[in-house]
Amino acid sequence: MVTLNILYVVASLLIFASIMTSTLSARLGVPLLLFFLGVGMLAGEEGILGIEFAEYNLANFIGQAALACILLDGGLRTSMRSFRVGLKPAVTLASLGVLVTVLVAGIFTTWLLDVDWRLGVLMAAIVGSTDAAAVFSLLRNGGVKLNDRVQATLEIESGANDPLAILLVTVMITLNLDPTSQGIGDIIFMLISQIGIGLVLGLLSGWALSKMLPKVYLADGMYAILILSAGLIVFGITNLLGGSGFLAVYLAGVVIGNTKVRATEHVLRVMDSFAWLSQAVLFVVLGLLVQPSGILEVIHYSLLIFIFLLFVARPIAVFSSLLPFRFGIREIGFISWVGLRGAVPITLAIIPVTMAVPGADLAFNITFGMVILSLLVQGATIPLMSRLFRVWVPTNNEPKAEHEIWVADQANITLYEFEVKQGAFAIGRHPQSISSKFDAQALSLFALVRHNKLVNVNEDTILKMGDVVWYAMRGDDAPSIAKIFNNSATQYQKNSEFYGDWLLSPHARIADLPFYNLAARSLATNASSRLPKPVASALDIFTVPPQVGVMTGIDEDLVNKLTEAKNQTVEEFMMQYFKTEPVKGDEVYLNETWSLIVRDVDGRGRLRGVGLKNKIKKEV
């Protein structure tokens, strides 16, 4: 009994310490998952507490259960819009990308370690896939908003690449133990089974659970437990039938999460806690499992393989996978950089150890070192690299929080929380009359909080910096209202630097835009004598106000391009350059100086706002 109580205390203490490090993680800019690992390692056999833990089978059991929970939560929070935007490139990355990564990294690892090619490729297969736990955690809590295409591609890839990674690891383990037991036909059948069974069971179970939820009446906290238990059932049954349980539970979560019913909100609230607990337990257990001295002995190998994976193997895989989808070079560069490794590679590295594969201990220690390097280097630099590769988008049009209150099984009211930021346009305005653009009936003030206390609102109440306002709204006005609360002169300048100083309607014709006339006027003024006759004739029909000055950066090619498209709308003109669904931040270059940038997109992928940007800062 004493031993059991000690176990309770130690286990709970480790989780408590891991969670408390979250504040330190935010201050230092180091991923929280790395602190979880650190707590486990400090408590381990060579750490402060000296806990001896070498139960690889138990760690594998805990790891797979935790990953199933994390993937279920990730699926619940993945919108169908993400699938429309990122499904095709993500699936290509999760298949072709993984194969290319394993092939290229396998050759390098075999050469570097001077081992049998089967062991080298096995090690490459272990680290060949990105990790869902790390990707979901770091991208969604990394303090930066990525453009939807990049975010969706990375998240779906991490949720979908496990089947192929597991298949490759299984095949390579078999080849290491018995080279004559696996044929090409067996490998192909296993791959089809993993993906096919996982896909079918995931979608069917998700559909069945989404239909069941509205008909089940439980206490609010029970819905998440119901879905979690059902998800683990799907995970286990799929694995028993030879499919990918990880893929099945992720897809089940996607289907359930996109079915808006009363129970869904309760599920999301509680599942967030389950997912965090799973991550904490998983990484602490993995930290207990490893011996730091073993990592240090091979850390130079981990570093060299990590560098090769980061700068060679992953970029080759991403470039070859995303090139057909017309991803920009900056998007490809960022996706290459954020090939995060985490719990999945370590969990896969446990399997060869439990099956006594020769060289498995070496593979485990090298993998663990690579995960630490990945979290430290890639995870900690996501905000920096997102700005370097310009895949971030301004976040001034998002409310601080939102909560759904369900008043019936299929009827809800959404409450939005806004905080008055320093210099915001909302300062000095009445909370019920923040803008004449919004109908007072569509914007119902729910609460005003000042210094953590409710404020009674009267006709003389005005908003101050730091106030928190809650509105009950219908429609899609939340992004516009958020700008009033978040936008200051500084934020407005940042938006202008990102989107440009001109806001264009996507439905306006090119010929009706001032830019069209200004382009012609500039070229006519500066270079009319050099123009071909067709272009000079076209300029004769342009009308330009005499007070408008000459624009910079206008060339003959730009005028020709606009002349050919003068009867198109701005949206039609831009859409011909997009092969995938547009997202905020997408840019169409008119020439080296001028570009059109997507400012907003509706739920159907149609443009709602376009910015016109001039890279040469001169007055018109």
Q: Is the pLDDT of residue 26 over 60?
A: no
What is the model's pLDDT at position 105?
Answer: 94
Mean pLDDT of 467-475: 82
What is the model's pLDDT at position 620?
Answer: 39
Residue ranges of the chain assigned to CATH 3.30.465 = 499-525+548-612
What is the model's pLDDT at position 544?
Answer: 36
Assign 3-class secondary structure to 349-378: HHHHHHCCCCCHHHHHHHHHHHHHHHHHHH
Q: Is the pLDDT of residue 206 over 50?
A: yes
What is the model's pLDDT at position 542?
Answer: 36
What is the model's pLDDT at position 441?
Answer: 64
CA dihedral 466, 468, 473, 478 (to 10 degrees): 30
Greatest mean pLDDT range, 7-11, 18-22, 337-341 = 337-341
Residue labelled with tokens 């998700």: 206
pLDDT, tens digit (0-9, with 9 covering 90-100), for 395-416: 766 787 777 777 666 667 788 8
Distance CA 121, CA 305 (A): 12
pLDDT bracket for residue 362 (50, 70, 90): very high
Which one-letter amino acid corresponds to residue 191?
Answer: L
Range with the poorest average pLDDT among 24-33, 276-285, 350-359, 374-383: 24-33
Contact indicator for 393, 147 with CB cutoff of 8 Å: yes
Considering the domain delimited by 499-525+548-612, tell me its CATH architecture: 2-Layer Sandwich (3.30)
Mean pLDDT of 203-210: 92
Residue ranges of the chain assigned to CATH 1.20.1530.20 = 1-390
Residue ranges of the chain assigned to CATH 3.30.70.1450 = 399-491
pLDDT bracket for residue 317 (50, 70, 90): very high
In terms of pLDDT, which residue wins out, 501 or 573?
573
Q: At CA 291, angle to CA 287 and CA 293, rounded to 5?
A: 135
In CATH terms, the fold of domain 399-491 is: Alpha-Beta Plaits (3.30.70)
Mean pLDDT of 117-130: 90
What is the model's pLDDT at position 73?
Answer: 84
Q: Is the pLDDT of residue 553 over 60?
A: no
pLDDT bracket for residue 543 (50, 70, 90): very low
Range with the poorest average pLDDT among 24-38, 249-263, 475-489: 24-38
Q: For the chain, how big is the Rg over CA atoms in Å? A: 28
Q: What are 488's two structure tokens? A: 């200051």
Mean pLDDT of 457-462: 85
Q: Is the pLDDT of residue 158 over 70?
A: yes
Mean pLDDT of 2-17: 72
β-strands 587-589, 453-454 pairing: unpaired
- Mean pLDDT (the chain) is 80
Q: What are 238's two structure tokens? A: 């799929």
pLDDT, tens digit (0-9, with 9 covering 90-100), for 367-389: 989 988 988 888 888 888 988 89
Mean pLDDT of 160-183: 80
Mean pLDDT of 429-458: 80
β-strands 411-419, 401-408 pairing: antiparallel
Mean pLDDT of 239-267: 84
1-390 CATH: 1.20.1530.20
Mean pLDDT of 320-347: 87
CA distances 244 to 64, 157, 159, 164, 199, Å, are 12, 15, 11, 9, 8
Q: Is the pLDDT of residue 596 over 80?
A: yes
CA distances 558 to 450, 516, 546, 589, 619, Å, are 53, 10, 21, 10, 19
Mean pLDDT of 520-527: 55
